[in-house]
Amino acid sequence: MTQQRKGSFIKRAKDITLSSALTLAILSGGAIMTGCSSKDDESDYSYEETTYSKGIRSHIKEVKPGEFKITDEESVAADKSLAIVTYLDGHTDSLSTTAAKALIDNEIRNNQSSVGHHSGLSSMLLYGGMGYMLGRNSGNGYMNNYRNSETSRGGFYANPGAFNKSQSAYNDVNASRSTRVVTSRPAGGRSGFFSRFSGRSGG
């Protein structure tokens, strides 16, 4: 009877198990491997990117304590988008899109049932040009749900002339829209089943 070194059986069993597992993975993944091509992989990593070269500058004025109206809106370069707020005491604040979003989110989070039913600053931001600009971002779609539920936003503006001018500014923003297809290839430029398998096995 041929003697075997201690542990040799375990090693062979391990080799067999690994070989069987690899064979099973290849066989079970046959359909995936057959269907893979560089063209298919390219579409997997492609997406549309939409940008706007124009933005909105909104002028908001406090007309009564805690009550505001939008007095003017104009189209500007996208990186110049902001809201200029003038208070009763004469001082002004300039709110970036980030600051405007924070105020809108706070209003939605704490006073969801009253959103749009008052003349507070957050309502002017949400239903005016800032809300319009923020809603262009796919991650802020929830803002459009509120904006679309308000059939007439004219009441947030100081007068019909200000409202009409805002619509013209919105048209300028829409006209500045551009879309391009962006392709992000897998790391190392590899594609297909084996690149994905090796990418997962890095541990």
pLDDT of residue 189: 52
Strand partners, 84: 59, 94
Report yes or no on 199 lying in a domain: no
pLDDT of residue 18: 46
Report yes or no on 187 lying in a domain: no
Report yes or no on 197 lying in a domain: no
DSSP 8-state symbol, 157: B
pLDDT of residue 136: 85
Report yes or no on 5 lying in a domain: no
Report yes or no on 146 lying in a domain: yes
Report yes or no on 152 lying in a domain: yes
Place of tokens 């104009």: 74
Residue 58's domain spans which residues? Answer: 51-179
Report yes or no on 14 lying in a domain: no
The amino acid that residue 198 corresponds to is S
Gap between the Cα atoms of 148 and 144, Å rounded: 6
Gap between the Cα atoms of 97 and 113, Å rounded: 24
Question: What are the respective helix, strand and coil percentages of the chain, to the nearest 5?
Answer: 55, 25, 25
pLDDT of residue 171: 94
* Total domain count, the chain: 1
pLDDT of residue 148: 86
pLDDT in tens, the chain (203 residues): 545 554 444 444 444 444 444 444 444 444 444 444 455 555 567 877 788 899 999 999 999 999 999 999 999 999 999 999 999 999 999 999 999 999 999 988 887 667 767 889 999 999 999 999 999 887 888 999 888 887 677 789 999 999 999 999 999 999 999 988 888 765 555 544 444 444 444 44
CA distances from 5 to 1, 13, 17, 19, 82 (A): 13, 14, 20, 22, 78
pTM surpassing 0.75?
Answer: no
Report yes or no on 194 lying in a domain: no
pLDDT of residue 48: 76
The CB-based long-range contact list for 164-172 (8 Å cut-off, 24+ gap) reads: 165/72, 165/73, 165/74, 166/70, 166/73, 166/128, 166/129, 168/75, 169/56, 169/73, 169/74, 169/75, 169/129, 170/56, 170/129, 170/132, 172/54, 172/75
